[in-house]
Amino acid sequence: MTEISSHVSMVTVTLLPSRDQIPTASGTRLNELLAPWGGESPCGGQGTCRGCRVKVISGNMPVTDKQREVLLPRELDEGWRLACQCRVTDDISVIVPSSQPVVLADDTIERSVPEEGYGIAADVGTTTLAVQLVDLKSGKVVGLRTGLNPQSSLGADVMSRIEAAVRGSARDLTLNIQNSIASMVADLMREHTVGPVELKRILLVGNTVMHHLFCGLPVQPLSQVPFETPNSGLVELPTSSLFPFLNDATQVMFLPCMGGFVGSDVLAGISAVHLLSADGINLLVDLGTNGEVVLGHDGEGMCASTAAGPAFEGARISCGMRASDGAIWRVVEENGSLVCDVIGNVEPRGVCGSGLVDAVAAALRLGLIEPSGRIKDGKLLWLAGNIALTQADIRQLQLAKAAVSAGIAVLLDRWCKGTRHVESLFLAGAFGNYINIRSALQIGLFPCTADRIMPAGNSALRGARRLLGAGEHRFSHIANIVSHVKHVPLASDPAFFDHYVEQIPFPEIPFSTRYERGSE
Protein backbone atom coordinates (compact mmCIF):
# COMPACT_ATOMS: atom_id res chain seq x y z
CA MET A 1 0.00 0.00 0.00
CA THR A 2 1.36 3.41 -0.98
CA GLU A 3 0.83 6.53 1.16
CA ILE A 4 0.39 9.71 -0.90
CA SER A 5 -0.67 12.00 1.96
CA SER A 6 -1.45 11.88 5.62
CA HIS A 7 -5.15 11.55 4.82
CA VAL A 8 -5.44 9.51 1.61
CA SER A 9 -3.88 6.12 0.98
CA MET A 10 -3.77 4.45 -2.39
CA VAL A 11 -4.15 0.77 -3.17
CA THR A 12 -3.81 -1.20 -6.40
CA VAL A 13 -6.27 -3.67 -7.88
CA THR A 14 -4.68 -6.07 -10.37
CA LEU A 15 -6.98 -7.68 -12.95
CA LEU A 16 -6.16 -11.22 -13.98
CA PRO A 17 -5.22 -12.66 -16.39
CA SER A 18 -4.49 -9.35 -18.19
CA ARG A 19 -2.49 -8.00 -15.20
CA ASP A 20 -3.95 -4.52 -15.79
CA GLN A 21 -3.39 -2.44 -12.66
CA ILE A 22 -5.93 0.05 -11.33
CA PRO A 23 -4.72 2.46 -8.65
CA THR A 24 -7.51 3.74 -6.44
CA ALA A 25 -8.14 5.41 -3.09
CA SER A 26 -8.48 3.04 -0.17
CA GLY A 27 -12.15 2.46 0.66
CA THR A 28 -13.40 2.55 -2.94
CA ARG A 29 -16.26 0.16 -3.68
CA LEU A 30 -14.97 -2.62 -5.90
CA ASN A 31 -17.99 -2.70 -8.23
CA GLU A 32 -17.65 1.01 -9.04
CA LEU A 33 -13.97 0.51 -9.80
CA LEU A 34 -14.57 -2.46 -12.09
CA ALA A 35 -17.47 -0.98 -14.12
CA PRO A 36 -15.24 0.23 -17.03
CA TRP A 37 -13.77 -3.29 -17.26
CA GLY A 38 -17.15 -4.96 -17.70
CA GLY A 39 -18.03 -5.45 -14.04
CA GLU A 40 -21.78 -5.79 -13.50
CA SER A 41 -24.11 -4.56 -10.75
CA PRO A 42 -27.56 -5.68 -11.93
CA CYS A 43 -29.24 -5.04 -8.56
CA GLY A 44 -27.66 -1.60 -8.18
CA GLY A 45 -25.25 -2.65 -5.45
CA GLN A 46 -27.91 -4.00 -3.08
CA GLY A 47 -26.23 -7.40 -2.77
CA THR A 48 -29.36 -9.27 -3.82
CA CYS A 49 -27.99 -10.97 -6.94
CA ARG A 50 -24.77 -12.69 -8.03
CA GLY A 51 -24.12 -10.51 -11.08
CA CYS A 52 -21.03 -8.76 -9.68
CA ARG A 53 -19.14 -11.87 -8.56
CA VAL A 54 -15.34 -11.68 -8.72
CA LYS A 55 -12.70 -14.13 -7.55
CA VAL A 56 -10.05 -12.76 -5.20
CA ILE A 57 -6.70 -14.45 -5.87
CA SER A 58 -4.54 -12.50 -3.46
CA GLY A 59 -5.04 -9.80 -0.85
CA ASN A 60 -7.53 -9.27 1.93
CA MET A 61 -11.25 -9.06 1.11
CA PRO A 62 -13.39 -9.89 4.17
CA VAL A 63 -16.66 -11.80 3.87
CA THR A 64 -19.78 -9.89 4.98
CA ASP A 65 -23.11 -11.24 6.20
CA LYS A 66 -24.77 -10.15 2.95
CA GLN A 67 -22.30 -12.23 0.94
CA ARG A 68 -22.98 -15.27 3.13
CA GLU A 69 -26.66 -14.94 2.24
CA VAL A 70 -26.02 -14.96 -1.50
CA LEU A 71 -22.88 -17.06 -2.06
CA LEU A 72 -22.41 -20.72 -1.19
CA PRO A 73 -19.85 -21.63 1.52
CA ARG A 74 -17.76 -23.43 -1.08
CA GLU A 75 -17.70 -20.32 -3.28
CA LEU A 76 -16.59 -18.15 -0.38
CA ASP A 77 -13.80 -20.62 0.42
CA GLU A 78 -12.66 -20.46 -3.22
CA GLY A 79 -12.35 -16.66 -3.00
CA TRP A 80 -15.56 -15.54 -4.68
CA ARG A 81 -16.95 -12.22 -3.46
CA LEU A 82 -19.73 -9.78 -4.36
CA ALA A 83 -17.93 -6.70 -5.68
CA CYS A 84 -20.79 -4.41 -4.63
CA GLN A 85 -20.32 -5.47 -1.00
CA CYS A 86 -16.54 -4.98 -0.91
CA ARG A 87 -14.39 -1.93 -0.29
CA VAL A 88 -10.77 -2.11 -1.38
CA THR A 89 -8.50 -1.40 1.60
CA ASP A 90 -5.41 -3.37 0.49
CA ASP A 91 -3.62 -4.36 -2.69
CA ILE A 92 -5.56 -7.23 -4.27
CA SER A 93 -5.59 -9.37 -7.41
CA VAL A 94 -8.97 -10.41 -8.80
CA ILE A 95 -10.44 -12.30 -11.71
CA VAL A 96 -13.42 -10.50 -13.26
CA PRO A 97 -15.42 -12.93 -15.41
CA SER A 98 -15.55 -11.74 -19.02
CA SER A 99 -18.67 -9.66 -19.42
CA GLN A 100 -18.63 -8.11 -22.85
CA PRO A 101 -22.31 -7.62 -23.70
CA VAL A 102 -24.10 -8.57 -26.89
CA VAL A 103 -24.91 -5.20 -28.47
CA LEU A 104 -27.35 -5.45 -31.34
CA ALA A 105 -26.61 -3.29 -34.37
CA ASP A 106 -27.28 -3.78 -38.08
CA ASP A 107 -26.04 -2.05 -41.19
CA THR A 108 -29.23 -2.04 -43.26
CA ILE A 109 -29.07 0.77 -45.83
CA GLU A 110 -31.93 3.19 -45.21
CA ARG A 111 -33.25 5.23 -48.13
CA SER A 112 -32.09 8.81 -47.72
CA VAL A 113 -31.96 12.25 -49.25
CA PRO A 114 -28.39 12.18 -50.64
CA GLU A 115 -26.01 14.83 -49.38
CA GLU A 116 -22.29 15.18 -48.99
CA GLY A 117 -20.76 14.36 -45.64
CA TYR A 118 -21.36 12.06 -42.72
CA GLY A 119 -23.72 11.70 -39.81
CA ILE A 120 -23.79 9.89 -36.48
CA ALA A 121 -26.71 7.79 -35.21
CA ALA A 122 -26.45 6.90 -31.51
CA ASP A 123 -28.61 4.57 -29.44
CA VAL A 124 -28.12 5.58 -25.80
CA GLY A 125 -29.38 2.50 -24.00
CA THR A 126 -29.74 1.93 -20.28
CA THR A 127 -27.30 -0.99 -20.48
CA THR A 128 -25.45 -0.63 -23.77
CA LEU A 129 -24.39 2.07 -26.22
CA ALA A 130 -24.22 1.81 -30.01
CA VAL A 131 -22.86 4.57 -32.27
CA GLN A 132 -22.76 4.37 -36.07
CA LEU A 133 -20.99 6.57 -38.59
CA VAL A 134 -23.13 6.91 -41.73
CA ASP A 135 -22.21 8.14 -45.22
CA LEU A 136 -25.10 10.52 -45.93
CA LYS A 137 -24.70 10.25 -49.69
CA SER A 138 -25.09 6.47 -49.90
CA GLY A 139 -26.82 5.73 -46.59
CA LYS A 140 -24.18 3.11 -45.79
CA VAL A 141 -22.87 2.46 -42.30
CA VAL A 142 -19.10 2.91 -42.49
CA GLY A 143 -18.21 2.53 -38.82
CA LEU A 144 -19.56 1.18 -35.54
CA ARG A 145 -18.66 1.48 -31.86
CA THR A 146 -20.47 -0.33 -29.07
CA GLY A 147 -19.96 -0.52 -25.34
CA LEU A 148 -21.47 -0.53 -21.88
CA ASN A 149 -23.31 2.42 -20.44
CA PRO A 150 -20.91 3.61 -17.70
CA GLN A 151 -23.90 4.24 -15.42
CA SER A 152 -24.51 0.47 -15.15
CA SER A 153 -22.61 0.24 -11.87
CA LEU A 154 -25.56 2.04 -10.25
CA GLY A 155 -28.05 -0.63 -11.31
CA ALA A 156 -29.62 -2.28 -14.32
CA ASP A 157 -32.90 -0.37 -14.55
CA VAL A 158 -33.94 3.24 -15.09
CA MET A 159 -35.34 3.65 -11.58
CA SER A 160 -31.91 3.03 -10.07
CA ARG A 161 -30.51 5.86 -12.24
CA ILE A 162 -33.34 8.17 -11.17
CA GLU A 163 -32.72 7.37 -7.50
CA ALA A 164 -28.99 8.08 -7.92
CA ALA A 165 -29.70 11.37 -9.69
CA VAL A 166 -32.18 12.50 -7.03
CA ARG A 167 -29.62 11.63 -4.32
CA GLY A 168 -27.20 14.11 -5.89
CA SER A 169 -25.33 12.21 -8.61
CA ALA A 170 -27.15 13.76 -11.58
CA ARG A 171 -24.16 15.77 -12.83
CA ASP A 172 -21.84 12.75 -12.62
CA LEU A 173 -24.37 10.61 -14.51
CA THR A 174 -24.64 13.27 -17.22
CA LEU A 175 -20.88 13.68 -17.63
CA ASN A 176 -20.33 9.91 -17.69
CA ILE A 177 -22.69 9.29 -20.56
CA GLN A 178 -21.73 12.43 -22.50
CA ASN A 179 -18.02 11.58 -22.28
CA SER A 180 -18.62 7.98 -23.37
CA ILE A 181 -20.56 9.00 -26.47
CA ALA A 182 -18.01 11.74 -27.28
CA SER A 183 -15.17 9.24 -27.04
CA MET A 184 -16.96 6.79 -29.36
CA VAL A 185 -17.68 9.52 -31.91
CA ALA A 186 -14.05 10.71 -31.81
CA ASP A 187 -12.80 7.13 -32.33
CA LEU A 188 -15.02 6.65 -35.38
CA MET A 189 -13.98 9.96 -36.95
CA ARG A 190 -10.31 9.23 -36.36
CA GLU A 191 -10.54 5.69 -37.71
CA HIS A 192 -12.35 6.76 -40.88
CA THR A 193 -10.51 10.09 -41.33
CA VAL A 194 -13.65 12.19 -41.13
CA GLY A 195 -12.95 15.86 -40.40
CA PRO A 196 -15.11 18.20 -38.29
CA VAL A 197 -16.49 19.97 -41.35
CA GLU A 198 -17.58 16.67 -42.92
CA LEU A 199 -19.67 15.60 -39.93
CA LYS A 200 -23.06 17.24 -40.54
CA ARG A 201 -25.18 16.01 -37.65
CA ILE A 202 -25.48 13.71 -34.67
CA LEU A 203 -28.87 12.20 -33.78
CA LEU A 204 -29.26 10.52 -30.41
CA VAL A 205 -32.15 8.34 -29.24
CA GLY A 206 -32.89 6.70 -25.91
CA ASN A 207 -35.54 6.20 -23.28
CA THR A 208 -36.85 9.17 -21.33
CA VAL A 209 -34.40 8.76 -18.44
CA MET A 210 -31.39 8.54 -20.77
CA HIS A 211 -32.76 11.54 -22.71
CA HIS A 212 -32.93 13.60 -19.51
CA LEU A 213 -29.60 12.48 -18.06
CA PHE A 214 -27.70 13.02 -21.32
CA CYS A 215 -29.24 16.46 -21.80
CA GLY A 216 -28.78 17.49 -18.16
CA LEU A 217 -32.51 17.77 -17.51
CA PRO A 218 -34.06 17.13 -14.06
CA VAL A 219 -35.42 13.60 -13.57
CA GLN A 220 -37.37 14.29 -10.38
CA PRO A 221 -40.75 14.34 -12.21
CA LEU A 222 -40.07 10.76 -13.34
CA SER A 223 -39.56 9.58 -9.78
CA GLN A 224 -43.20 9.85 -8.73
CA VAL A 225 -46.74 9.43 -10.01
CA PRO A 226 -47.84 10.30 -12.68
CA PHE A 227 -44.28 9.77 -14.06
CA GLU A 228 -44.63 12.58 -16.59
CA THR A 229 -42.10 15.26 -17.45
CA PRO A 230 -42.43 18.75 -18.96
CA ASN A 231 -39.10 18.32 -20.78
CA SER A 232 -39.87 15.54 -23.26
CA GLY A 233 -39.25 17.47 -26.48
CA LEU A 234 -36.43 17.49 -29.02
CA VAL A 235 -33.26 18.96 -27.48
CA GLU A 236 -30.64 20.72 -29.59
CA LEU A 237 -27.38 20.44 -27.72
CA PRO A 238 -24.33 22.75 -27.71
CA THR A 239 -21.91 21.05 -30.05
CA SER A 240 -18.52 22.41 -29.00
CA SER A 241 -19.05 21.85 -25.26
CA LEU A 242 -20.12 18.21 -25.71
CA PHE A 243 -17.80 17.41 -28.61
CA PRO A 244 -14.80 19.77 -28.36
CA PHE A 245 -13.26 18.27 -31.49
CA LEU A 246 -16.24 19.53 -33.58
CA ASN A 247 -17.38 23.00 -34.51
CA ASP A 248 -20.82 24.50 -34.00
CA ALA A 249 -21.81 23.83 -37.61
CA THR A 250 -22.48 20.20 -36.65
CA GLN A 251 -26.04 19.72 -35.40
CA VAL A 252 -26.45 17.64 -32.23
CA MET A 253 -29.99 16.60 -31.35
CA PHE A 254 -31.54 14.21 -28.87
CA LEU A 255 -34.88 13.24 -30.39
CA PRO A 256 -38.14 13.78 -28.44
CA CYS A 257 -39.84 11.33 -26.11
CA MET A 258 -43.38 10.04 -26.60
CA GLY A 259 -44.62 10.42 -23.02
CA GLY A 260 -43.86 8.99 -19.59
CA PHE A 261 -41.02 6.49 -19.88
CA VAL A 262 -41.60 5.96 -23.63
CA GLY A 263 -38.60 7.63 -25.21
CA SER A 264 -37.17 8.57 -28.57
CA ASP A 265 -35.80 5.04 -29.02
CA VAL A 266 -39.44 3.97 -29.45
CA LEU A 267 -40.13 6.92 -31.76
CA ALA A 268 -37.23 5.78 -33.93
CA GLY A 269 -38.51 2.20 -33.78
CA ILE A 270 -41.93 3.30 -35.03
CA SER A 271 -40.19 4.94 -37.98
CA ALA A 272 -37.97 1.91 -38.65
CA VAL A 273 -40.80 -0.64 -38.95
CA HIS A 274 -43.26 1.80 -40.62
CA LEU A 275 -45.75 1.00 -37.88
CA LEU A 276 -48.26 3.74 -38.68
CA SER A 277 -48.47 2.98 -42.40
CA ALA A 278 -48.71 -0.83 -42.17
CA ASP A 279 -52.03 -2.55 -42.92
CA GLY A 280 -54.16 -3.82 -40.04
CA ILE A 281 -53.42 -3.67 -36.33
CA ASN A 282 -49.68 -3.89 -35.66
CA LEU A 283 -47.66 -3.88 -32.46
CA LEU A 284 -44.09 -2.84 -31.65
CA VAL A 285 -42.79 -4.35 -28.41
CA ASP A 286 -39.39 -3.41 -26.97
CA LEU A 287 -38.34 -5.49 -23.97
CA GLY A 288 -35.19 -4.18 -22.35
CA THR A 289 -34.61 -2.80 -18.90
CA ASN A 290 -38.07 -1.34 -19.32
CA GLY A 291 -40.96 -2.57 -21.47
CA GLU A 292 -42.55 -0.37 -24.14
CA VAL A 293 -45.49 -1.31 -26.34
CA VAL A 294 -46.94 0.58 -29.30
CA LEU A 295 -50.12 -0.15 -31.27
CA GLY A 296 -50.44 1.26 -34.78
CA HIS A 297 -53.47 1.26 -37.11
CA ASP A 298 -54.42 3.44 -40.08
CA GLY A 299 -51.92 6.20 -39.35
CA GLU A 300 -52.80 6.50 -35.67
CA GLY A 301 -51.37 4.81 -32.61
CA MET A 302 -51.05 4.46 -28.86
CA CYS A 303 -48.00 3.74 -26.74
CA ALA A 304 -47.36 2.74 -23.15
CA SER A 305 -44.52 1.84 -20.84
CA THR A 306 -44.91 -1.19 -18.62
CA ALA A 307 -43.18 -1.54 -15.28
CA ALA A 308 -41.79 -4.90 -16.27
CA GLY A 309 -38.52 -4.43 -14.43
CA PRO A 310 -35.24 -5.69 -15.84
CA ALA A 311 -35.93 -9.45 -15.53
CA PHE A 312 -35.85 -9.87 -19.31
CA GLU A 313 -32.21 -8.77 -19.24
CA GLY A 314 -31.35 -11.11 -16.37
CA ALA A 315 -31.37 -8.45 -13.63
CA ARG A 316 -33.12 -8.96 -10.30
CA ILE A 317 -32.69 -12.70 -10.91
CA SER A 318 -30.51 -14.47 -8.32
CA CYS A 319 -28.25 -15.94 -11.00
CA GLY A 320 -29.09 -13.37 -13.67
CA MET A 321 -26.58 -11.61 -15.92
CA ARG A 322 -26.30 -9.86 -19.24
CA ALA A 323 -26.04 -11.80 -22.47
CA SER A 324 -22.25 -12.24 -22.39
CA ASP A 325 -19.70 -15.05 -21.98
CA GLY A 326 -20.85 -17.56 -19.39
CA ALA A 327 -24.56 -16.75 -19.73
CA ILE A 328 -27.03 -19.57 -20.31
CA TRP A 329 -28.90 -18.20 -23.30
CA ARG A 330 -30.88 -21.21 -24.52
CA VAL A 331 -32.54 -24.11 -22.71
CA VAL A 332 -34.30 -27.07 -24.33
CA GLU A 333 -35.82 -30.25 -22.97
CA GLU A 334 -34.20 -33.54 -23.96
CA ASN A 335 -35.26 -36.92 -22.60
CA GLY A 336 -37.12 -35.33 -19.73
CA SER A 337 -34.23 -33.05 -18.67
CA LEU A 338 -33.16 -29.46 -19.21
CA VAL A 339 -30.16 -28.98 -21.52
CA CYS A 340 -28.45 -25.57 -21.56
CA ASP A 341 -26.36 -23.70 -24.15
CA VAL A 342 -23.84 -21.20 -22.78
CA ILE A 343 -22.46 -18.13 -24.60
CA GLY A 344 -18.77 -18.67 -25.31
CA ASN A 345 -18.96 -22.42 -24.56
CA VAL A 346 -17.49 -21.79 -21.12
CA GLU A 347 -18.48 -22.78 -17.61
CA PRO A 348 -21.93 -21.28 -16.90
CA ARG A 349 -21.94 -18.40 -14.45
CA GLY A 350 -25.51 -17.17 -14.80
CA VAL A 351 -28.58 -16.91 -17.02
CA CYS A 352 -29.61 -14.05 -19.32
CA GLY A 353 -33.14 -13.08 -20.33
CA SER A 354 -33.60 -15.44 -23.25
CA GLY A 355 -32.27 -18.35 -21.19
CA LEU A 356 -34.62 -17.46 -18.33
CA VAL A 357 -37.67 -17.55 -20.59
CA ASP A 358 -36.48 -20.78 -22.23
CA ALA A 359 -35.82 -22.46 -18.89
CA VAL A 360 -39.24 -21.67 -17.47
CA ALA A 361 -41.04 -22.60 -20.70
CA ALA A 362 -39.22 -25.93 -20.90
CA ALA A 363 -39.89 -26.61 -17.22
CA LEU A 364 -43.60 -25.91 -17.78
CA ARG A 365 -43.68 -28.40 -20.63
CA LEU A 366 -41.90 -31.00 -18.48
CA GLY A 367 -44.22 -30.39 -15.54
CA LEU A 368 -41.37 -29.17 -13.33
CA ILE A 369 -43.23 -25.88 -12.78
CA GLU A 370 -46.98 -25.57 -12.25
CA PRO A 371 -49.06 -22.91 -14.07
CA SER A 372 -49.22 -21.08 -10.73
CA GLY A 373 -45.44 -20.70 -10.95
CA ARG A 374 -44.68 -23.08 -8.08
CA ILE A 375 -41.59 -25.23 -8.55
CA LYS A 376 -42.50 -28.85 -7.94
CA ASP A 377 -40.41 -31.14 -5.74
CA GLY A 378 -38.12 -28.53 -4.25
CA LYS A 379 -37.24 -24.86 -3.94
CA LEU A 380 -34.78 -24.73 -6.86
CA LEU A 381 -34.92 -25.39 -10.59
CA TRP A 382 -31.42 -26.56 -11.48
CA LEU A 383 -30.12 -25.60 -14.91
CA ALA A 384 -26.39 -26.34 -15.26
CA GLY A 385 -23.35 -26.41 -12.97
CA ASN A 386 -24.09 -24.32 -9.89
CA ILE A 387 -26.79 -22.31 -11.66
CA ALA A 388 -30.36 -22.69 -10.43
CA LEU A 389 -33.54 -20.61 -10.48
CA THR A 390 -35.29 -19.92 -7.20
CA GLN A 391 -39.00 -19.57 -6.52
CA ALA A 392 -38.45 -15.81 -6.29
CA ASP A 393 -36.83 -15.82 -9.75
CA ILE A 394 -39.88 -17.53 -11.25
CA ARG A 395 -42.07 -14.91 -9.59
CA GLN A 396 -39.98 -12.07 -11.07
CA LEU A 397 -40.53 -13.49 -14.55
CA GLN A 398 -44.26 -13.89 -13.90
CA LEU A 399 -44.58 -10.26 -12.82
CA ALA A 400 -42.54 -9.03 -15.79
CA LYS A 401 -44.50 -10.96 -18.38
CA ALA A 402 -47.80 -10.03 -16.71
CA ALA A 403 -46.94 -6.33 -16.95
CA VAL A 404 -46.10 -6.60 -20.66
CA SER A 405 -49.10 -8.71 -21.66
CA ALA A 406 -51.42 -6.53 -19.55
CA GLY A 407 -50.05 -3.40 -21.23
CA ILE A 408 -50.72 -4.90 -24.65
CA ALA A 409 -54.23 -5.91 -23.55
CA VAL A 410 -55.06 -2.37 -22.41
CA LEU A 411 -54.03 -0.90 -25.78
CA LEU A 412 -56.07 -3.53 -27.62
CA ASP A 413 -59.05 -2.86 -25.35
CA ARG A 414 -58.88 0.85 -26.06
CA TRP A 415 -58.46 0.48 -29.80
CA CYS A 416 -60.47 -2.59 -30.72
CA LYS A 417 -64.18 -2.76 -30.10
CA GLY A 418 -64.50 -6.06 -31.94
CA THR A 419 -61.71 -8.24 -33.30
CA ARG A 420 -58.35 -8.36 -31.59
CA HIS A 421 -56.55 -9.83 -34.60
CA VAL A 422 -52.94 -8.64 -34.66
CA GLU A 423 -51.45 -8.48 -38.15
CA SER A 424 -47.82 -8.25 -37.02
CA LEU A 425 -45.91 -7.93 -33.77
CA PHE A 426 -42.46 -6.41 -34.23
CA LEU A 427 -40.12 -7.49 -31.45
CA ALA A 428 -37.35 -4.94 -30.95
CA GLY A 429 -34.03 -5.01 -29.13
CA ALA A 430 -31.41 -7.62 -28.34
CA PHE A 431 -33.78 -9.63 -26.17
CA GLY A 432 -36.34 -9.73 -28.96
CA ASN A 433 -33.68 -10.82 -31.41
CA TYR A 434 -32.57 -13.84 -29.36
CA ILE A 435 -35.73 -14.94 -27.56
CA ASN A 436 -37.30 -18.24 -28.60
CA ILE A 437 -40.78 -17.31 -29.83
CA ARG A 438 -42.20 -20.70 -28.83
CA SER A 439 -40.96 -20.15 -25.29
CA ALA A 440 -42.40 -16.62 -25.18
CA LEU A 441 -45.82 -17.94 -26.19
CA GLN A 442 -45.53 -20.82 -23.71
CA ILE A 443 -45.23 -18.41 -20.76
CA GLY A 444 -48.02 -16.18 -22.10
CA LEU A 445 -46.07 -13.15 -23.20
CA PHE A 446 -47.64 -12.21 -26.55
CA PRO A 447 -51.25 -12.09 -27.88
CA CYS A 448 -50.70 -13.62 -31.31
CA THR A 449 -49.45 -16.74 -33.03
CA ALA A 450 -45.78 -17.34 -33.83
CA ASP A 451 -46.16 -16.59 -37.54
CA ARG A 452 -47.20 -13.01 -36.69
CA ILE A 453 -44.10 -12.24 -34.63
CA MET A 454 -41.09 -10.71 -36.38
CA PRO A 455 -37.76 -9.76 -34.76
CA ALA A 456 -37.04 -6.10 -35.63
CA GLY A 457 -33.41 -5.98 -34.48
CA ASN A 458 -32.17 -2.68 -33.09
CA SER A 459 -35.10 -0.69 -34.43
CA ALA A 460 -34.03 2.35 -32.41
CA LEU A 461 -30.67 2.58 -34.16
CA ARG A 462 -32.15 1.77 -37.57
CA GLY A 463 -34.85 4.41 -37.12
CA ALA A 464 -32.25 6.96 -36.05
CA ARG A 465 -30.33 6.24 -39.26
CA ARG A 466 -33.48 6.63 -41.30
CA LEU A 467 -34.17 10.03 -39.75
CA LEU A 468 -30.51 11.00 -40.03
CA GLY A 469 -30.70 10.74 -43.82
CA ALA A 470 -34.17 12.22 -44.29
CA GLY A 471 -32.96 15.77 -44.88
CA GLU A 472 -35.29 18.49 -43.65
CA HIS A 473 -38.17 16.00 -43.87
CA ARG A 474 -36.96 14.48 -40.59
CA PHE A 475 -38.69 17.21 -38.58
CA SER A 476 -42.09 16.70 -40.19
CA HIS A 477 -41.70 12.92 -39.89
CA ILE A 478 -40.87 13.21 -36.18
CA ALA A 479 -43.74 15.65 -35.61
CA ASN A 480 -46.15 13.31 -37.40
CA ILE A 481 -45.28 10.39 -35.11
CA VAL A 482 -45.44 12.48 -31.93
CA SER A 483 -48.80 14.00 -32.87
CA HIS A 484 -50.45 10.76 -34.02
CA VAL A 485 -49.30 8.38 -31.28
CA LYS A 486 -51.06 8.95 -27.97
CA HIS A 487 -49.33 8.03 -24.72
CA VAL A 488 -51.45 5.89 -22.36
CA PRO A 489 -50.40 6.08 -18.68
CA LEU A 490 -51.09 2.53 -17.51
CA ALA A 491 -50.75 3.35 -13.81
CA SER A 492 -54.00 5.35 -13.96
CA ASP A 493 -55.92 2.89 -16.14
CA PRO A 494 -58.28 0.78 -13.98
CA ALA A 495 -58.30 -2.05 -16.52
CA PHE A 496 -54.54 -2.50 -16.31
CA PHE A 497 -54.55 -3.97 -12.82
CA ASP A 498 -57.31 -6.45 -13.75
CA HIS A 499 -55.35 -7.63 -16.79
CA TYR A 500 -52.16 -7.71 -14.73
CA VAL A 501 -53.59 -10.01 -12.07
CA GLU A 502 -55.12 -12.24 -14.74
CA GLN A 503 -51.79 -12.65 -16.53
CA ILE A 504 -49.58 -13.52 -13.52
CA PRO A 505 -50.15 -17.31 -13.73
CA PHE A 506 -48.64 -19.14 -16.68
CA PRO A 507 -51.35 -20.22 -19.13
CA GLU A 508 -52.72 -23.76 -19.09
CA ILE A 509 -52.74 -23.38 -22.89
CA PRO A 510 -50.72 -20.83 -24.88
CA PHE A 511 -51.82 -17.23 -24.34
CA SER A 512 -52.15 -16.67 -28.10
CA THR A 513 -54.75 -19.45 -28.32
CA ARG A 514 -56.73 -17.99 -25.42
CA TYR A 515 -56.63 -14.55 -26.98
CA GLU A 516 -57.81 -15.77 -30.37
CA ARG A 517 -60.65 -17.79 -28.79
CA GLY A 518 -61.68 -14.81 -26.67
CA SER A 519 -62.12 -12.65 -29.77
CA GLU A 520 -64.35 -15.03 -31.64
Q: Three-state SS string across 340-352, please? A: EEEHHHCCCCEEC
C-alpha distances in Å from residue 23, one per residue of 39, 91, 93, 104, 160: 16, 9, 12, 33, 27
The pLDDT value given to residue 104:
63
* Mean predicted lDDT score pLDDT of the chain: 87
Residues 356, 318: Cα–Cα separation, whole Å: 11
Pairwise pLDDT comparison (272 vs 168), residue with the higher score: 272
Q: What value does the mean pLDDT take over residues 121-141?
A: 93
pLDDT at 419: 56
DSSP secondary structure of 397-411 = HHHHHHHHHHHHHHH
Region 12-19 average pLDDT: 79
What is the identity of the amino acid at 478? Answer: I
Q: For residue range 149-165, list pLDDT tens digits in order.
A: 888 777 767 888 898 89
Domains and CATH numbers, the chain: 2-95 (3.10.20.30)
pLDDT of residue 40: 66
Task: State the amino acid at position 143 in one-letter form.
Answer: G
The whole-number pLDDT of residue 512 equals: 46
- In one-letter notation, the amino acid at residue 85 is Q
Q: What is the pLDDT of residues 276-292, one digit of tens each?
A: 998 889 999 998 767 89
For residue 26, what are the CA distances in angstroms to 90, 114, 154? Answer: 7, 55, 20
CB 134 within 8 A of CB 468: yes
pLDDT tens column, 365-396: 999 999 999 999 878 999 998 899 999 999 99
Helices then strands (H, E): number in the chain? 16, 25
Radius of gyration of the chain measured on its C-alpha atoms: 23
Query: Is the full-model pTM beyond 0.75?
Result: yes
> Do 140 and 466 form a contact (C-beta atoms < 8 A)?
no
Q: Which residues pair with 416 in a beta bridge?
A: none
Residue 487 to residue 275: CA distance in whole angstroms:
15
In DSSP terms, 24 is beta-bridged to 11
pLDDT at residue 520 tops 50: no
What pLDDT score was predicted for residue 508?
81
Report the C-alpha gap between 71 and 126 in whole angstroms: 27
3 state DSSP class of 323? coil
List pLDDT tens digits, range 19-71: 778 888 888 888 878 876 666 666 667 777 777 888 888 888 889 988 888 88
170, 53 in Cβ contact below 8 A?
no
Structure confidence at residue 38 (pLDDT): 64
Q: Tell me the CA distances in angstroms from 431 to 170, 208, 357, one per residue in order.
A: 28, 20, 10
Q: Is the pLDDT of residue 515 over 60?
A: no
Lowest mean pLDDT among 104-113, 342-351, 399-408: 104-113
Single out the residue of 20, 174, 8, 146 nearest to residue 89, CA to CA. Answer: 8
Report the share of the chain in percent with pLDDT over 90. Answer: 51
Which residues lie below 8 Å from residue 136, measured CB to CB, with a gap of 6+?
112, 114, 115, 116, 117, 118, 119, 200, 468, 469
Percent share of the chain, pLDDT over 70: 90
* pLDDT(518) > 70: no
Three-class DSSP labels, 43-96: CCCCCCCCCCEEEEEECCCCCCHHHHHHCCHHHHHCCEEEHHHCEECCCEEEEC
Please give the pLDDT value at position 42.
67
Task: Give the whole-angstrom CA distance, residue 261 versus residue 490.
Answer: 11
Contact 453, 124 (CB under 8 A): no
Report the C-alpha gap between 86 and 67 in whole angstroms.
9
pLDDT of residue 21: 83
Query: DSSP E strands: which ranges in 385-443?
Result: 387-390, 424-428
**Mind listing the pLDDT tens digit for each residue in 164-192?**
899 888 999 999 999 999 999 999 999 99
β strands within 318-477, DSSP E: 327-334, 337-342, 350-351, 380-384, 387-390, 424-428, 453-457
Is 133 or 415 the better-scoring residue by pLDDT?
Answer: 133
pLDDT digits (tens, 9 = 90+) for 433-490: 778 999 999 999 998 888 999 989 899 999 999 999 998 889 999 999 999 999 999 9
* pLDDT class of 14 with cuts at 50, 70, 90: confident
- Does 504 score more than 70 pLDDT? yes
> CA dist 335 to 332, 338, 339, 362, Å?
10, 8, 9, 12
On the CB side of 412, CA atoms within 13 Å amount to 26
pLDDT reading at 516 higher than 90: no
pLDDT confidence of residue 509:
64
Distance from C-alpha of 230 to C-alpha of 241, rounded to nearest angstrom = 24
